[in-house]
Amino acid sequence: MASGYRHGGVDFDDLFDPDILGNGPSADGYRVNGQPLRYAHVQYGQRRADVGYRVGGQDVAALWAAKGTATYTMPFHDKAFSASNQARTNSHDSCSASISLAFQPDGTYTVHSSTAGGGNGGSSLVDSGRWLTGSTSAGEYEIQILAADVGQASFGTTAAGFVSMTAAQSASASITVPSASAQWLSEAVRFRCLVRRGGLVQESVLTARVSATGWY
């Protein structure tokens, strides 16, 4: 539905990006269906030229991101996390290392680095934060987690297709070698996290560097 506000014959909906996060500033005095006029915060994109509507002495174009410029990424975007396991001498099981990413409906996420086998084992929290910001709720979002550059690693996900974020969703990458071997395997698996709200999809990427080495 168009906003009803126009500049140069073009509706504001085609001049500014939608408020996906729910924290876009509103323009006092301008309303659509009883709700304040609101678009994506300009900090997420680029400012467009003035449109001739003013709030508090400034043009509303100073408030909102121009159409097609807003991007939203999670705090882990473009970060890399590592997990490495070196088998201990005389161990005879499998030696593995993994990185896991989990999203919770309360708006938080965690990244864990883990090792198992080869005489070693344990897990540590290497990153955490909030994926949900603004005044929106988890029920407004869906997520799909895909992998790239898997190579000889293994990848698993609860979100192979778009699923609701009202339930916990996760993905993990791991690599395994026989402990009693001379093998060394290493991969840098990219987690592609596609988050969808209202038809708009934004992508955040995490790199999981996993390696495992036998003792033989």
Would you say the pTM of this structure is higher than 0.85? no
DSSP structural state of residue 138 = G
pLDDT band for position 8 (cuts 50, 70, 90): very high
Give, in order, the Cα–Cα distances in Å from 68 to each of 63, 145, 157. 15, 23, 30
Strand 184-197: give its sheet, edge to edge. 79-86, 200-213, 184-197, 142-148, 163-164
Least confident interval from 102-111, 162-171, 199-208: 199-208
pLDDT band for position 71 (cuts 50, 70, 90): confident
Helix and strand tally (H, E) in the chain?
A: 0, 16
| Residue 95 clears pLDDT 90, i.e. is over it | yes
Nearest to 65 by CA among 121, 104, 124, 25: 25
Partner residues linked to 108 by β-bridges:
130
pLDDT tens string 53-69: 999 999 999 999 999 88
| Residue 7 clears pLDDT 90, i.e. is over it | yes
The reported pLDDT for the residue numbered 20 is: 79
Give just the sign of the alpha carbon dihedral 41, 47, 51, 54.
positive
Mean pLDDT of 10-28: 90
Domain ranges of the chain: 6-62, 79-213
The reported pLDDT for the residue numbered 198 is: 77
d(CA 137, CA 11) in angstroms, rounded, equals 28
The reported pLDDT for the residue numbered 132 is: 87
Mean pLDDT of 46-59: 94
Percent of the chain, pLDDT > 70?
99
| Residue 135 clears pLDDT 80, i.e. is over it | no
| Residue 16 · residue 48 · CB < 8 Å | yes
Name the residue with higher pLDDT: 90 or 198.
90
Give, in order, the Cα–Cα distances in Å from 31 to each of 27, 48, 139. 8, 21, 25
Give, in order, the Cα–Cα distances in Å from 112 to each of 5, 120, 125, 133, 197. 48, 16, 5, 22, 27
| Residue 113 clears pLDDT 70, i.e. is over it | yes
